Amino acid sequence: MRLSGTIRLALGLGCSLPALVGGAMAQTAAEPSGESEIIVTGSRIPRAAQEGPAPVTTITADTIRANGYTSVPDILRAVTQNGGETQSQQSFSGASFTPGAQQVDLRGLGPNHTLVLVNGRRIADFPLPFNGRSNFTDVSNIPLGLIEQVEVLSGSASAIYGSDAIAGVINFKLKDKVDGTTIDYRHGRTEHGGGASHRITATTGWSNDRFHIVAGAEYLLQKPLWAYQRKIQDSTADNPDTAVPLARRTFLRYNPDADEYVDPGAATCGALSYLNGGSTYYASRPRYGAYDDALEDYGPGYFCGSNTSIGYGTVISRREGLNSFASAGYELSDAAQLFVDAQFGISKVALMSDVLNWGYQNASGSSDTTFYNSFDGQLDDWYRQFTPEESGGFSNVMTRNRQQTFSITPGIKGSFADKWSYELSYNHSEYKAKVKFPQIIAAKANALFLGEQQGVDEGSGYPIFNADPARLYTPLTKAEYDSIAVYSVYNPKSWTDNLSATLTSTELFSLPAGPVGFAAVGEIGKQGYDLNPDPLALTDYYYGLKDSAGKGKRSHWALGGELRVPVTSFLQLSGAARFDHFRFAGNGIGKFTYNAGAELRPTSTLLLRAAYGTSFRAPDLHYVFTGPGNTHPSATDYYSCRVEEPDEDLGDCSYAGEGIVAQRNGNRALKPETAKSLNAGIVWSPSRHFDVSVDYFRVSLSNQVQDLDIDTLLRDEADCRIGTTMGGAAVDINSPTCQDALARVHRFASGVNEGYLDSVSINPINIAHEKTSGIDIAVHGSVPTSFGEFSLSVAHTHVFDHKFRQYPGDASINKLAATSGYYIPRDKSTASITWAVEGLKWTLEGRRLGKLPNYDEDAYIKASYLFNTTVQYDFTDHLRGSLSVTNLLDRKPVKDPSYSAYPYYDISWFDSVGRSMFMQLTYKLGGSAL
């Protein structure tokens, strides 16, 4: 393959990027008009070659349009190396912690182990932590219409780019060459309603002999798609694990002494039937009522509930935003140029995961909602949800996030002594947000429903209220709801500053086989973040929430160098070394990393390559600086389920989805994570119309920093107490995992809840080890015919193993096993075929996601397939239209008969959007043809 034009180094220096054939989505450029210089991603040394020692996947703007990609997360879902679980737009944890943000997770090692760059430079992290734990880069705000190409380098790259590049590097290159003004409009609709979108993109530029400027802007309006608009998740009747629908408990009274629901009566629920859109009714659940001697079992427990209120969440968030960029340069002389790159974006995101709810919460924030009710002289427990009729509609309950991003990079670059180039630049990037979380004020809600506390019951130790149960079943007026509901406002921000100097030479000196390339880099900078939470959220002021603050910064400097040595005409070696030093919280951490690569070309059409590297990640700022705090997540008490209800499915267990207290703190003694990576492969390109590559990868990660997982701790605690896993395997209660789990899981020591789950203590730690290996396969081909050209692109990733060991001495967990508690695929594939003739281009893309564990974690669900197609036509040289259909066959998520948790499918991998259509028109004023 030959490429036209001069392509200059970007991942290292922030200029334009390479167009390579390193992955299945690389595209062939136009025929060259002269000599071309091709720069390989993953190196700071310019070189004329199409492949380097490590594979690179390139996705161009043409590919993005031809394959019908609708967003940056959509692009990354098609990348087969992106094999980890990330948050979709309907993620409940995403709505709670990082509303509107989305991530990328190369090799399934976690979003914080993939380095994300824009124009070759680091950008500020999303200012709120992923799952309340670690910092990460948000890819949802990168403007799709302004992308020139995306490059994915998988494997260790710390010796080139420093911290974070453990699983790989993804760089988004924005358009920087404009010879006219281009206006692009795209409109999208879903076949089944909801989720319509509009996008307008404009790019322009101007230049003279010494000065040039390129600018672009993108406006996006994405309307929401609600869960109730999709039949597969608009009701509890969609639960595949229940023979009859189990209503949500909208109004529930529970008797802790008798361990049963208190029957409100059909008339009481009938008076509430207009709530939840007229869906509230007198409902029951089996075995939650009084004991029936005749049946020798517990009878049904009655409450006022709704089947359809479960659909009050967004599948696609509402988003409106404007993103812009500008790049300018002024030539001081033939050997020096001043430049500045700038990006600015602002967007408003609104989403909803569920309605708000309330139960009694004491001043300490305990998860025990029991109180003594002197009205009828017994222990009592009330719970209710707030319906849309009470809150005034969904608009008053949506989480809202106003995001603002800004980056600027001024600098100078040039050349001297014919063979040397330099660049000196300063980069500043910041991410600010104003996030509004809807909350219920605990004390005000307590007073509204229960009245004033009358003391403490001597026998039980519970607070005394004289609460008429009729109050529980009385709908609130809008004024009453407003008196207890409020938005908790966070103003988080993050920033990074970096001064970088780079010196490169294409010919440090010459050997018989050719010139030796050289690069040196020096960096110094700072990075910081501040969650700036609502101060009241750090107390027990709100129902179900006690958050933690987080604020900190660190300084950093680094020195590195790189060599590329042509040993013979068919063998080239490369190597890089770098030392990074971080200082934070009074600690200093320095880390040396290196990599080495070899390229062996026995013939001009065959390349054997290998690369080995070390990498590291400095302790995450939020892992280090987060303050003590509580959250109130839902969790399953596996021990109680297995002991008291062994015949119930976990999703139907009485102790599933319980509210608990999670106690969390940071850890300033964390060590850096370290990793070793190996890539080895073969590339065969017998002609310019065909090439195939097969690459083996292995990443071994040690001292990985990870928040302890609540669900895993509760599973471990149950296994340890019982002595066996759910699958029947023996468990040693004296193992390190058991001892740790038993110490972190706290159960009530007295009262009616004695022995039941109270809280779990979690914090970030350096875990022992995680390792993954597999192969990447890529095939490209094109066949010119008299009736057009046919092009084929195929990418496939197969993971041999992915193992995780939390503590030394523990048995390794196979993350690919159905029983592991992890949901990552072993296989992932993307393929497309394109037919182009004159001004017409038609592309059909297919994706395959390998089997995943089912919800019960005792088997796998089958592989899934998704097809998209795009027809594109050039009406003139300056007017282009296209029509894209995503999810062409209108496929629904793969059915899992055991998936009893809403929305009854895995939202990390599937959605219910269904078939969607996108019309796009592009018009160019002046300049060359499109």
Tokens standing for residue 783 = 């066949």
Give which of 547, 539, 534 is closest to 362, Cα–Cα.
539
Residue 145, phi-psi category: left (phi > 0), alpha (psi -120 to 50), beta (remainder): alpha
Q: Give the span between the Cα atoms of 791 and 831, in whole angstroms.
A: 11
Specify the DSSP element, H or E, that contains 761: strand 757-762
List alpha helices for 451-596, DSSP H.
Answer: 478-484
Q: Which residue has the tokens 């009274």?
A: 253
Q: Give the span between the Cα atoms of 436 and 527, in whole angstroms.
A: 25
Specify the DSSP element, H or E, that contains 443: helix 442-450
Q: Please say if the pLDDT value at position 687 is more than 50.
A: yes
Q: Give the span between the Cα atoms of 437 and 543, in whole angstroms.
A: 12
Q: What percent of the chain has pLDDT over 90?
A: 74
Partners of residue 204 on adjacent β-strands? 215
31: helix, strand or coil: coil
Please report, for residues 32, 690, 729, 786, 899, the alpha-carbon distance to residue 789 in angstroms, rounded to integers and kept in the order given: 19, 13, 57, 8, 45
Q: Please say if the pLDDT value at position 765 is more than 90.
A: no
Q: Give the span between the Cα atoms of 19 and 22, in whole angstroms.
A: 9
What one-letter code names the amino acid at 858?
D
128-132, 342-346, 866-870: which has the minimum mean pLDDT?
A: 128-132
Q: Give the span between the Cα atoms of 428 and 353, in whole angstroms.
A: 34
Residue 611: alpha-carbon gap to chain centroid: 28
Task: Read off the pLDDT of residues 465-511 as tens digits, 9 standing for 90 and up.
Answer: 999 999 999 999 999 999 999 999 999 999 999 999 999 999 999 99
Taking residue 583's Cβ as centre, other Cβ atoms within 10 Å add up to 15
Q: Please say if the pLDDT value at position 7 is more than 60.
A: no
C-alpha Rg value of the chain to the nearest Å: 29
Q: Which residue has the tokens 């995680």?
A: 770
Counted residue by residue, the chain has a size of 930
Task: Read off the pLDDT of residues 571-585 as tens digits, 9 standing for 90 and up.
Answer: 999 999 999 999 998
16 in Cβ contact with 46 (< 8 Å): no
Task: Read off the pLDDT of residues 175-221 as tens digits, 9 standing for 90 and up.
Answer: 988 889 999 999 999 999 999 999 999 999 999 989 999 999 999 99
415-424, 491-500, 651-660, 678-687: which has the minimum mean pLDDT?
A: 651-660
Question: Which pLDDT score, from 0 to 100, does residue 97 have?
Answer: 84
Q: Give the span between the Cα atoms of 180 and 173, in whole angstroms.
A: 19
Q: Please say if the pLDDT value at position 547 is more than 90.
A: no
- 315: buried, middle or exposed (CB in 10 Å: 19+, 13-18, 0-12)? buried
Q: Give the span between the Cα atoms of 13 and 20, in whole angstroms.
A: 18
- Residue range 666-679: average pLDDT? 91
Q: Round the average pLDDT of the chain to a whole number and report it.
A: 90
**Residues with Cβ < 8 Å from 458, sequence gap 6 or more?**
none
Q: Give the span between the Cα atoms of 687 and 604, in whole angstroms.
A: 10
Q: Give the span between the Cα atoms of 693 and 23, in whole angstroms.
A: 8
Q: Give the span between the Cα atoms of 805 and 393, in whole angstroms.
A: 47
807 in Cβ contact with 740 (< 8 Å): yes
Q: Give the span between the Cα atoms of 73 and 141, in whole angstroms.
A: 10
17 in Cβ contact with 11 (< 8 Å): yes
DSSP letters, 385-428, are E--HHHHTSGGGT-EEEEEEEEEEEEEEEEEETTTEEEEEEEEE
36-50, 155-169, 899-913: which has the minimum mean pLDDT?
A: 36-50
Read off the pLDDT band of 613 (50, 70, 90).
very high
Read off the pLDDT band of 42 (50, 70, 90).
low
Question: Which pLDDT score, from 0 to 100, does residue 398 have?
Answer: 96
Q: What is the DSSP code (8-state) at residue 550?
A: B
Q: Which residue has the tokens 């081909």?
A: 781
- Residue range 810-826: average pLDDT? 92
Residue 322: alpha-carbon gap to chain centroid: 22
Q: Please say if the pLDDT value at position 89 is more than 70.
A: yes
Taking residue 569's Cβ as centre, other Cβ atoms within 10 Å add up to 10
Cis upstream peptide for 903 (omega within 30°) = yes
> What dihedral do alpha carbons 722, 724, 730, 733 form, nearest 10°?
-40
- 434: buried, middle or exposed (CB in 10 Å: 19+, 13-18, 0-12)? middle
Task: Read off the pLDDT of residues 357-390 as tens digits, 9 standing for 90 and up.
Answer: 999 999 888 878 999 999 999 999 999 999 999 9
Q: Give the span between the Cα atoms of 89 and 253, in whole angstroms.
A: 33
494 in Cβ contact with 126 (< 8 Å): yes
- Residue range 421-440: average pLDDT? 97
Tokens standing for residue 666 = 């940071």
Q: Please say if the pLDDT value at position 8 is more than 60.
A: no
Q: Give the span between the Cα atoms of 316 and 329, in whole angstroms.
A: 40
Partners of residue 118 on adjacent β-strands? 121, 172
Please give the backbone phi and psi of residue 153, each rounded to the nearest 5 degrees, phi first. Answer: -110, 115
Read off the pLDDT band of 315 (50, 70, 90).
very high
90-104, 521-535, 853-867: which has the minimum mean pLDDT?
A: 90-104
Q: Give the span between the Cα atoms of 646 and 668, in whole angstroms.
A: 42
599 in Cβ contact with 609 (< 8 Å): yes
Q: Give the span between the Cα atoms of 908 and 83, in whole angstroms.
A: 11
Q: Which residue has the tokens 């109130």?
A: 632
47-56, 229-238, 531-540, 726-735: which has the minimum mean pLDDT?
A: 47-56
Q: Give the span between the Cα atoms of 359 and 750, in whole angstroms.
A: 21
Give which of 123, 163, 112, 169 is closest to 581, Cα–Cα.
163
> What dihedral do alpha carbons 423, 178, 142, 616 form, nearest 10°?
-30
Q: What percent of the chain has pLDDT over 70?
A: 94
Q: Give the span between the Cα atoms of 172 and 157, in whole angstroms.
A: 17
Read off the pLDDT band of 751 (50, 70, 90).
confident
Q: Which residue has the tokens 């990027």?
A: 17
Residue 407: alpha-carbon gap to chain centroid: 22
Task: Read off the pLDDT of residues 614-625 as tens digits, 9 standing for 90 and up.
Answer: 999 998 898 899
Task: Read off the pLDDT of residues 889-919 as tens digits, 9 standing for 90 and up.
Answer: 999 999 999 999 999 999 999 999 999 999 9
- Residue range 104-112: average pLDDT? 92
End-to-end CA distance of the chain: 22
Question: Which pLDDT score, from 0 to 100, does residue 534 have?
Answer: 96
Q: Please say if the pLDDT value at position 512 is more than 50.
A: yes
Q: Give the span between the Cα atoms of 485 and 396, in whole angstroms.
A: 9
Question: Which pLDDT score, from 0 to 100, does residue 658 have?
Answer: 79
Please give the backbone phi and psi of residue 166, each rounded to the nearest 5 degrees, phi first. Answer: -85, -50
Question: Which pLDDT score, from 0 to 100, does residue 44 have?
Answer: 52
Q: Give the span between the Cα atoms of 209 and 488, in whole angstroms.
A: 54
Q: Which residue has the higher pLDDT, 775 or 461?
A: 775
